[in-house]
Amino acid sequence: QVQLVESGGGLVQAGDSLRLSCAASGRAFVMYAKGWFRQAPGKERELVAAISWSGGNTNYADSVKGRFTISRDNAKNTVYLQMNSLKPEDTAVYYCAAALKFSDIDDPRTWGQGTQVTVSS
């Protein structure tokens, strides 16, 4: 069964950094576009960052541009989200997701279970 497993969440202070990881099982997932979504309490889930299977294309939500970086290591079948200069408003459950095409990443077919990120002021 294909799975996405996130790790790296935690409790940090404003201004700190965290790196989230998403390990995929199944070699077919190497060819998938990947994305990081987040959902804060009482808010809709939003796409934070996305990356094409080759890593050549990325996009970011305006709220995280310049602070977050998405990357991937296809040899390890893992995608990362480096989060710097964290703010309390970044507090959310972060989900990894996969889609067949980069253009479809806003409607992914596979989701991870999520990892909590909490940023204290």
Per residue in 34-75, pLDDT tens? 999 999 999 999 999 999 999 999 999 999 999 999 999 999
Spatial contact of 53 and 32, defined as CB atoms under 8 Å apart: yes
Give the pLDDT of residue 2: 67
Spatial contact of 58 and 52, defined as CB atoms under 8 Å apart: yes
Burial class from Cβ neighbours inside 10 Å (0-12, 13-18, 19+) for residue 56 reads: exposed
Question: Residue 8 pLDDT more than 80?
Answer: yes
Question: Where residue 109 falls among pLDDT bands split at 50, 70, 90?
Answer: confident
DSSP 27-42: GGGGGSEEEEEEE-TT
Give the pLDDT of residue 101: 92
